[in-house]
Structure 1
Amino acid sequence: MIYLELLLGFLKVGCFTFGGAYSAIPLIRDVVLSCGWLSDEELSYMIAVSESTPGPIMVNLATYVGSSQAGFGGAVLATLAVVLPSFFVILLVMNLLRGILKGKYAQAVLQGLKPCMIGIILATGVYMTLHNCFPLVQGAKADLRALLIVVVLAACMAMYRTLKKKKLSPILLIIASAMLGILIY
């Protein structure tokens, strides 16, 4: 019976959540609390853990709740239930749009979006760097350790590009920044 409840509960979450993972949290909270799978406090802790682990929050929460209620099978079932609706919607949309996306006007729009996305990502990176290295709060001091990490990573990227004549892998940058953060902080 728990398998059917997990399936229906997380299918509901997967079918009726729009706007990303954070908009799913109220619906997940409603389903989990109404079924009595977790307490409100346990769910709050799990949301915090799901935000700090790789992967979408919805999937992480579904996997955890499924596992806590019905073991490995429950984890698999809840995860599939929350993911399948989006998967089928994407398949449907891609089949409908396949011909349209090959058109010259659609390609022109997509090519025009690339520089916009690069600009948005760059602006976000610059904002986050400035905000974290030089806090905007009155009386706050610049975080020299964060600035040191940024300078070291930028130097590593420049040296790698100069010596190897190719870009440094983002995965290596993430690992290097994690290690620097652990060492410096």
Structure 2
Amino acid sequence: MKSKLKLLIVLFWIFFKIAPVTFGGGYAMIPLIERQFVHKKQWLNMKDVSDIFALSGTAPGAIAVNCATFIGYRFGGVLGAIAALAGVLFPTVIIVCFLSIFFILFKDNSYFESAFLGIRAAVVALILYAAIEISKTALLDKSTFILCAGMVVMMLVFHLHPIIAIFLGALFGIMIVKVKKRLGIAVRLEKIQEPQKGKRAG
């Protein structure tokens, strides 16, 4: 019972710390999720993080909320999902309320506008970093790279809806695997881990 309670507190506290710095949406959480769950706790790897954010993007609702719910449920069941969800929502609600007041009072203040200009630039950096980290486990070969590039072009040029892009990605992924199997080409579903320097392979 104590270990379960401790796990719920840990889940709540991790997302409580993450939520205030996820300006710009859920994808800005990825570097923080990586730091807390991959490096510190070692509960997840980057492939798990990529899968969780892919699911969070396809499910209805905010990505940050969905991500917290998925991770909380994975490690603590229903109570874990509730603890993680409370952790990500509680500070966000408080911060939004304060920001709303500050925005009304200082919306024409040059320092306030300059601060948000810097925050928006930092958010772009966070999302770019997240994209690079996810690409390490998502772009496995030429076919996945071409699929990624094609989806970027479709969204930039034809303004393809993100949800449609996700479903098309799933459809093309199934097609690529089927075609490769029929042609006798080896199918890679995970990136091959290179042996660490100083250690013998095998």
AA matched with 1:49: L
Give the Cα–Cα distance (whole angstroms) in 2 for the partners of residues 22 and 11 of structure 1.
Answer: 16
CA displacement, residues 101-150 of structure 1 (integer Å, 9 cap, x when unaligned): 9xxxxxxxxxxxxxxxxxxxxxxxxx9697279xxxxxxxxxxxxxxxxx
Structure 2 residue aligned with 1:50: 56
Q: SS where residue 55 of structure 1 aligns? A: coil
Q: SS where residue 46 of structure 1 aligns? A: helix
Contact 2:25 2:63 in 1 (8 A): no
Give the Cα–Cα distance (whole angstroms) in 2 for the partners of residues 27 and 129 of structure 1.
Answer: 27
Query: Alignment partner for residue 69 of structure 1, among 59, 75, 79?
Result: 75
Contact 1:2 1:70 in 2 (8 A): yes
| TM-score normalised according to structure 2 size | 0.47
What do you get for the CA RMSD once the two structures are aligned?
Answer: 3.0
AA matched with 2:60: P
Query: Alignment partner for residue 18 of structure 2, among 13, 34, 47?
Result: 13
Deviation at 1:21, TM superposition (A): 1.7
In the superposition, relative to structure 1, how do residues 132 and 100 fare at CA in structure 2: closer, same or farther (>3 Å)? closer
AA matched with 1:40: M
Gaps of 5+ in 1: 102-126, 134-173, 179-185
Confirm or deny that 1:82 pairs with 2:109. no
AA matched with 1:22: Y
Deviation at 1:11, TM superposition (A): 0.8
Deviation at 1:88, TM superposition (A): 0.5
| 1:23-172 to 2 correspondences below 5 Å | 23-33=28-38, 34-95=40-101, 131=158
CA displacement, residues 46-84 of structure 1 (integer Å, 9 cap, x when unaligned): 111111111121111110111111111110110111111
Deviation at 1:16, TM superposition (A): 2.1
Contact 1:62 1:75 in 2 (8 A): yes
The size of the alignment, in residue pairs, is 110
Return the structure number with greater relative CO, CA threshold 8 A, min gap 6.
2
In the superposition, relative to structure 1, how do residues 98 and 32 fare at CA in structure 2: closer, same or farther (>3 Å)? same
In the superposition, relative to structure 1, how do residues 129 and 45 fare at CA in structure 2: closer, same or farther (>3 Å)? closer
| TM-score normalised according to structure 1 size | 0.50
In the superposition, relative to structure 1, how do residues 97 and 51 fare at CA in structure 2: closer, same or farther (>3 Å)? closer
Q: Which has the higher Rg, Structure 1 or Structure 2?
A: 1
Contact 1:37 1:65 in 2 (8 A): no
Q: SS where residue 58 of structure 1 aligns? A: helix
Give the Cα–Cα distance (whole angstroms) in 2 for the partners of residues 63 and 79 of structure 1.
Answer: 6
Structure 1 residue aligned with 2:7: 2
Gaps of 5+ in 2: 1-5, 108-153, 168-202
Contact 2:15 2:87 in 1 (8 A): yes
AA matched with 1:20: G
